[in-house]
Amino acid sequence: MDLPRESMLLRIYLGEKDHWEHKALYEAIVLKAREMHLAGATVFRGAMGFGRSSRMHTAKILRLSYDLPILVEIVDTEEKIKSFLPVIDSMLKGGLVTLEKIQAVYYRGEQPA
């Protein structure tokens, strides 16, 4: 699959304890993105953050949180990303979703044998 230079980045900010259908929400999102043949997805776990509620979530030992910030990034064409938005909308109860036009410089990987 070729990824055009003019592509789109979807970012989904959520919490580690968010779930969807008995599965971690970030995992469900990545699996759905793969099922829909999007170009790629990555999950990042944050060390510290806060959202709309201003409640601090941190990995510091004295304030151990089991709800650390999670960021899911998905890259593909604008058309495919926008077709994925209704799926995200049905899964997400809270959080933040952003879109950004990007320039994909390289999209390389090992070719299947």
What is residue 64's predicted lDDT score, i.e. its pLDDT?
54
What is residue 94's predicted lDDT score, i.e. its pLDDT?
86
For residues 68 and 77, what is the distance between their CA atoms, to the nearest angstrom? 29
Structure tokens at 103: 């320039």
Question: Which DSSP helix (H) or strand (E) runs through 27?
Answer: helix 25-35
Which residues, other chains included, contact 75 with Cβ-Cβ below 8 Å and sequence gap of 6+? 3, 7, 8, 9, 10, 38, 39, 40, 41, 102, 104
What is residue 49's predicted lDDT score, i.e. its pLDDT?
74
Which residues, other chains included, contact 87 with Cβ-Cβ below 8 Å and sequence gap of 6+? 32, 36
What is residue 107's predicted lDDT score, i.e. its pLDDT?
75
6-103 belongs to CATH 1.10.760.10: no
Digits of tens for pLDDT over the chain (113 positions)?
A: 677 789 999 999 998 889 999 999 999 999 999 999 999 999 999 877 776 666 655 655 555 556 788 999 999 999 999 999 999 999 999 889 999 999 988 777 776 66
Q: Where are the domains of the chain?
A: 6-103
Question: Which DSSP helix (H) or strand (E) runs through 78?
Answer: helix 78-91
